[in-house]
Amino acid sequence: MSESGGIGRRSALKGIAVAGIAAVPGAILAGRQRAAAATLFPQPAVSAARLVPGSASGVVEQTLDVRLTDVLVPGYRRVTTRTYNAAIPGPTLRVRGGQTLRLTHVNGLPPDPSHTGDSHTPHHPNSFNLHTHGMHVSPSGNADNVRRAFAPRTAEEAAAGVAEPQYVTTIEVPSDHPAGTYWYHPHLHGSTAEQIVGGMAGVIVVEGDVDEVPEIKAAADIVVCINELKFKDGKVPAFTSGGWVNGVPSTFTVNGAVNPTLTLRPGEVQRWRLVAATAFTALRLQVAGEQGSLTLHQIAQDGVTFDAPRARNLLDLAMGNRADILIRGGTAGRYELRADMVPEPLMTVVVAGEPVNPPMRLPASLPPGRPFLDEKDIANPGADREVVFHADARVFAGAFPNAFRMLGTNATPAAHPDGDLTRDPAYGLFDPDYINHTLRLGTVERWTVRTDETVPVHSHPFHLHTNHVLLTHRNGKRLDPPVWHDTIGLTGGAPGQSATFLVKYEDFTGDAVAHCHQLQHEDLGMMQTVRYVEPAESQGHSRRS
């Protein structure tokens, strides 16, 4: 279903002109400009809150204009791709708990081609919506509602001079929302992968208590948004077959540039907000050079702050994950941020300049972002939910032969229950009219998710919308301490990986989704619908009412 707004094209363009970095308050902007100048490192435009009439806490207003744009990717070439505001990535949105995100979306894309397939083949590549990945906000109405569709003009409307359609997203950020790093991207089923590999992504920063820790406040605050782009002949190939990008190498950019250079003084501490805005590739990251490696002091995972920094030489980010780290310059020299299986460095880090003496300090403790859940609070012990990521080859005729299924508890029913389920055209595939999980607010449950893939490099990251999950076990082994996530990486093998987590359904009712965050798989059916309901409502599963 498409929607229509009532904001004029001229007003939208005016919003684009003023809603970028100029929207940041002066003192904050000056500090960020100093950090950017000191590092010679690209940073996305920034939009921050301002007071508007009738607003007590502030509103972040931003126009996100989406159209095919000729973009120069420094270090690569000029490409034509769908963008937010003619840039990769889009503007960074900075907001605080209790404030409002008010986003105006302009769809300047060409008309959608006709679609004759079913719901789990790619479709409507020029329609989109908005998902605020990882944020604990409402999944309903005009908020983080991935069932909305922001359609472009039809060919007839364009020929008649009808204005480009506009849509509004309004998100009320809870006053106690964890401070940290999140991101936004389109999430219309059937078009997500093609749009994200073209660069449609942006960062959300929720500001709060952790930013006031003296050692963190003193550090330059730097966004490191890693996009994985797929270009052939200067554009994203159309998603017309299951092998649509086979043989198309990934181009990895950081803040829109290939291998940009960041400068770090010996003894200086910087805060990096690492965002894995990738569709296909998990990232095992390290910073190393001839002088050795730089320690990554992780302070948050997926937007939730730890109780203290955790020193790592290697940092794993599945597709969609984020990590906040503190990094301190050591021996002068040239280092590289590298990821396993990615042949080229993601960015270069030059430690140079006048040493900071004494070296900047790291915090000993942090204000934790969320309290842990307790297994004794699990509702209905023994009634755990299970999800199994499973693929069956050569099920369908045509260009998309493989079935990407989510099996286990409340899998989408088979079309032919008494037949061969490996050949079934519906079993475990996303059905927009089927509720796979009905989840009662206030309830704590335990889920186990696993993949039965046998090939280690095949990955099925699990992502649940609206509520964070507390990862307690990996491959049956308890984590100490557990870690909050919104996306959990799972790779294949013999056996494939498994993860067990606790989750408490809080605050918001409505329909959301759980899915594989290898986004081609999600577009082809590896997704389920979850319905958050009030405590008194039914716990069953059903066709959508």
Convert 386-418 into a string of H (helix), E (strand) and C (coil). EEEEEEECCCCCCCCCCEEEEEECCCCCCCCCC
- Do the domain assignments include residue 483? yes
**Whether the Cβ atoms of residue 428 and residue 406 lie closer than 8 Å to each other:** yes
Sequence letter at residue 140: S
**Whether the Cβ atoms of residue 402 and residue 242 lie closer than 8 Å to each other:** yes
The span from the CA of 344 to the CA of 346, in Å, is 6
- Do the domain assignments include residue 165? yes
b/e burial code for range 181-202 (CB count within 10 A of at least 16 → b): bbbbbbbbbbbbbbbbbbbbbb
Q: How high is the pLDDT of residue 268? A: 98
The span from the CA of 20 to the CA of 125, in Å, is 27
Tell me, yes or no, whether 392 and 506 share the same domain.
yes
Q: Which residues pair with residue 271 across a beta bridge?
A: 221, 326
Tell me, yes or no, whether 415 and 494 share the same domain.
yes
Tell me, yes or no, whether 381 and 342 share the same domain.
no
Q: How high is the pLDDT of residue 381? A: 82
- Nearest Cα to Cα of residue 441 among 378, 373, 374, 505: 505
The greatest distance separating any two alpha carbons of the chain, rounded to the nearest whole angstrom, comes to 73
The span from the CA of 130 to the CA of 83, in Å, is 13
Tell me, yes or no, whether 248 and 177 share the same domain.
no
- Do the domain assignments include residue 86? yes
Check which CATH number belongs to the domain holding 267 and give it.
Answer: 2.60.40.420
Residue 514 half-sphere exposure, CB side, CA atoms within 13 Å? Answer: 33
The position carrying tokens 């001229």 is: 10
Tell me, yes or no, whether 422 and 525 share the same domain.
yes
Q: How high is the pLDDT of residue 49? A: 77
Domain final residue, candidates 300, 316, 351: 351
H/E run at residue 451: strand 444-451
By DSSP bridging, strand 385-392 and strand 444-451 are: parallel
528, 532, 538, 540: CA torsion to nearest 10: 10
- Do the domain assignments include residue 466? yes
147: which 2 tokens? Answer: 């069932």
Tell me, yes or no, whether 335 and 432 share the same domain.
no
Tell me, yes or no, whether 54 and 197 share the same domain.
yes
Encode the chain (545 residues) as per-residue pLDDT tens digits: 444 443 333 233 333 332 333 334 433 443 444 444 344 799 999 988 776 766 668 999 999 999 999 999 999 999 999 999 999 999 999 999 999 999 999 999 999 999 887 888 999 999 999 999 999 999 999 999 999 999 999 999 999 999 999 999 999 999 999 999 999 999 999 999 999 999 999 999 999 999 999 999 999 999 999 999 999 999 999 999 999 999 999 999 999 999 999 999 999 999 999 999 999 999 999 999 999 999 999 999 999 999 999 999 999 999 999 999 999 999 999 999 999 999 999 999 999 999 999 999 999 999 999 999 999 999 888 889 999 999 999 999 999 999 999 999 999 999 999 999 999 999 999 999 999 999 999 999 999 999 999 988 889 999 999 999 999 999 999 999 999 999 999 999 989 999 999 999 999 999 999 999 999 999 999 999 999 999 987 655 566 54
- Nearest Cα to Cα of residue 128 among 98, 148, 108: 148
The position carrying tokens 């000729």 is: 70
The span from the CA of 204 to the CA of 212, in Å, is 18
The span from the CA of 288 to the CA of 95, in Å, is 33
- Do the domain assignments include residue 72? yes
- Do the domain assignments include residue 243? yes
Domain final residue, candidates 148, 176, 208: 208
- Do the domain assignments include residue 39? no
Sequence letter at residue 367: P
Q: How high is the pLDDT of residue 538? A: 61
Distance of CA 470 to CAs 105, 433, 452, 473, 482, Å? 33, 29, 22, 9, 6
Distance of CA 144 to CAs 18, 67, 139, 324, Å? 24, 21, 5, 23
- Do the domain assignments include residue 363? no
Domain final residue, candidates 351, 383, 415: 351
Sequence letter at residue 187: H
Residues 6+ apart with CB under 8 A from 208: 96, 97, 177, 178, 179
The span from the CA of 276 to the CA of 337, in Å, is 13
Other C-beta atoms closer than 10 Å to the C-beta of 286 total 18
Tell me, yes or no, whether 406 and 521 share the same domain.
yes
Tell me, yes or no, whether 339 and 401 share the same domain.
no
Residues 6+ apart with CB under 8 A from 199: 71, 81, 82, 83, 88, 89, 227, 229, 253, 256
Q: Cis ω on the peptide bond leading into residue 89 (within 30° of 0)?
A: yes
- Return the beta strands (E) in 125-219 as ranges: 131-133, 166-172, 180-185, 202-207
Adjacency order of strands within the sheet including 59-72: 78-84, 59-72, 100-107, 166-172
Region for 160 from its dihedrals, namely left if φ exceeds 0, alpha if ψ lies in -120 to 50, beta otherwise: alpha
- Return the beta strands (E) in 255-384 as ranges: 261-264, 269-277, 283-289, 292-294, 296-301, 304-312, 315-317, 322-328, 333-339, 347-351
The span from the CA of 64 to the CA of 200, in Å, is 10
Other C-beta atoms closer than 10 Å to the C-beta of 94 total 22
Q: How high is the pLDDT of residue 337? A: 98
Tell me, yes or no, whether 275 and 398 share the same domain.
no
The span from the CA of 57 to the CA of 37, in Å, is 31
pTM above 0.85, yes or no: yes
**Whether the Cβ atoms of residue 366 and residue 358 lie closer than 8 Å to each other:** no
Tell me, yes or no, whether 255 and 338 share the same domain.
yes
Residues in the chain: 545
200: which 2 tokens? Answer: 């449609």
Number of domains within the chain:
3
Tell me, yes or no, whether 187 and 53 share the same domain.
yes
The span from the CA of 283 to the CA of 302, in Å, is 14
Owning domain of residue 260: 230-351
DSSP label at residue 423: G
Sequence letter at residue 352: A
